[in-house]
Amino acid sequence: MKKVKRNQLILKTIFILGTFPTIAFSQGLINNGSHIVISSGSNIVVNTAGTGNYLSQSGGLIHNSSVGGIIKVMGNWTNNAANVAFANDGSTVILSGVNQSIAGSNSTTFYNLTLQGTGTKTLNVNTTVGGIATLTGVLSLTTLPLVLNSNVLTVSNPAAGAITNTTGYIQSETNVALNPSQVKWIVGTTSGSHIIPFGLAAAQIPFTMNITSAMSSVASYVIVSTRPTVATNNTPWSSTVTHMYDPTIGGDGSVQAVIDRWWDLTWSNAATATLTFSYRGAENTLNAPYNSGNLGAQYWAAGWLPDNSNIGSTLAVLAGVGTVTASGVAFVAATYRPMVLTSVNAPLPIELLSFAANCNSSSEIISWSTATENNNDFFSIEKSEDGNNFNVIGQVNGSGTSSQVHHYSFADPVPVLSTVYYRLRQTDFNGTSTESTIITGETCNGNINTIDAFASGSEINISLNVIEASEYNIAVFDMQGKKYGEENVSAAQGSNHFLLNGNILAAGIYLVRVTGVDGKCYSKKVMLTQD
């Protein structure tokens, strides 16, 4: 065994390490432009007992004459050479000290990288593991955390086993809208399950992408990052996200109905995958009853798509680690997709700014405004007399995909003479629909105070109380629209009584419609029975 012991050794010549099993540098090693050649069975140990660092500069390189050489570093790894530190693949770098970092003015491309020793290993520069050309190297986390620290970890080995661990994990917790602490996995054209063992505070929260329809190029990659937020309202929202409106809650659902963790995904080429998300129970800051309901995944694509019922559903957890699996998630090429877990069908693919029903003269006007819309085909206006059973009374075209404010309105063709309820049903171009919250309409009688009716043999008795004298057409219909009587009448101010020749055949609910000379229509459902 050959040992060199100095406070710091600066290499200016080429070392060929094939005949010596181990060469050790007790206080550190500076590669000052040398080409170090290492072969299988040879080891470089930079400080066996202290905190010696490895520094490469002035074009220094490590060559591998064969696969199997080991470089064990107790201190920090720094690459200031104008290269990626290695000329080719084959060696294993072991970080075996305490609280070590990978740094430098240039990125390092490791073949195998293994974390040993104790403490935390931190990236201070973008780093690649897996190799330069053979692309079969492995990142072995063992039991230690690797903190990305606002840097990108690239995994160049496309195989599913390119990252291994026991209790170790990758920490990607940078709380900004576009999280720079990312794992970029060049999965190429492979399919199958690829696990990124994310974690935080000694808890493993892995993210799994089981690629079912592979990407098209050997250079294809997926970029993934994840983070919770300091506050429980999921802010800052991920880049490009403009709203988290929830129709069940009737407002911003980011606090009440969305797990406090973001996942940001970018797929370089089109692909389909089954995704499994993990989160800590402490990140379930949802309000009851949403905190114990089913969770599903949603992704942002100018709006939130799809809802949790058709992209996976699993009961939420309040302690430990929970998981949610979303099957058949399709990604298009070069698309950045923020994703969340939510307990309701939220948020809508529209951001609804307002929704109200107000009386304008004798007509009920339903109005609403949107801030953003995504693939919005049309709105259906639905009405109910009991708040439970709704019927469509009209339809208004949407604005497709838009980030501008749009205002809409619809006039209820039937005057509101008692309490009624309205809701919107928004329908996408693909047929997916989502309901809004329910609102109450104003009573809107206009010139008519009351309408009543009863049947007597072949006649229908109509009672009409009006504010001002006017001319009216009165007609009676059954619920299938069949007309049973009609009369033009002149009504005085106050109470009026009229007889229509109607001949009601069966007891039941009928509609009395009163139309004024101004074209305004009033109606009321009444129960008619024969005497």
Do the domain assignments include residue 104? no
The residue among 313, 346, 379 that closes a domain is: 346
Strand 494-501 vs strand 433-435: parallel, antiparallel, or unpaired?
unpaired
Residue 346 pLDDT: 46
The residue among 440, 472, 498 that closes a domain is: 440
Do the domain assignments include residue 508? yes
Could you tell me the residue range of the domain that residue 334 belongs to? 177-346
How many CB atoms are located within 10 Å of the residue 354 CB? 10
Residue 19 pLDDT: 45
Answer yes or no: do 426 and 463 share one domain: no
- What is the rounded distance in angstroms from the CA atom of residue 84 to the CA atom of residue 108? 4
- What is the rounded distance in angstroms from the CA atom of residue 286 to the CA atom of residue 316? 10
- What is the rounded distance in angstroms from the CA atom of residue 225 to the CA atom of residue 529? 69
Which DSSP category does 98 fall into? Answer: B
**In a 3-state reduction of DSSP, which class is residue 182?**
strand
Residue 2 pLDDT: 36
Neighbouring-strand partners of residue 112: 92
CB neighbour list of residue 431: distance below 8 Å, 6 or more residues apart: none
Q: Both ends of the chain: CA-CA distance in Å?
A: 118
**In a 3-state reduction of DSSP, which class is residue 282?**
helix
Residue 442 pLDDT: 61
Answer yes or no: do 463 and 508 share one domain: yes
Answer yes or no: do 342 and 202 share one domain: yes
Answer yes or no: do 336 and 360 share one domain: no
Do the domain assignments include residue 91? no
Answer yes or no: do 295 and 394 share one domain: no
Do the domain assignments include residue 92? no
Answer yes or no: do 435 and 458 share one domain: no
Do the domain assignments include residue 24? no
Q: Tell me the Ramachandran region of residue 19: left when phi exceeds 0, alpha when psi lies from -120 to 50, beta otherwise.
A: alpha
Residue 1 pLDDT: 34
For the entire predicted model, the pTM comes to 0.66
CATH of residue 483's domain is 2.60.40.2550
Answer yes or no: do 226 and 300 share one domain: yes
Do the domain assignments include residue 462? yes
Residue 484 pLDDT: 81
Residue 87 pLDDT: 95
Block mean pLDDT (10 aa), the chain, length 531: 39 44 73 88 72 90 90 95 96 95 98 97 98 97 98 98 98 96 98 98 97 96 95 86 62 73 96 95 84 83 65 83 91 92 64 74 78 81 85 91 83 74 83 75 66 75 84 82 84 87 72 77 70 55
- What is the rounded distance in angstroms from the CA atom of residue 35 to the CA atom of residue 267? 37
Do the domain assignments include residue 97? no
Count how many domains the chain has: 3
CATH of residue 395's domain is 2.60.40.10
Answer yes or no: do 338 and 399 share one domain: no
Amino acid at 115: L
The residue among 415, 440, 465 that closes a domain is: 440
Tell the residue number behind the tokens 């050790």, with chain if given. Answer: 24
Residue 251 pLDDT: 53
Answer yes or no: do 474 and 493 share one domain: yes
Residue 340 pLDDT: 92
Answer yes or no: do 354 and 332 share one domain: no
Answer yes or no: do 299 and 187 share one domain: yes
List the structure tokens of 337.
Answer: 């997709």
Answer yes or no: do 339 and 190 share one domain: yes
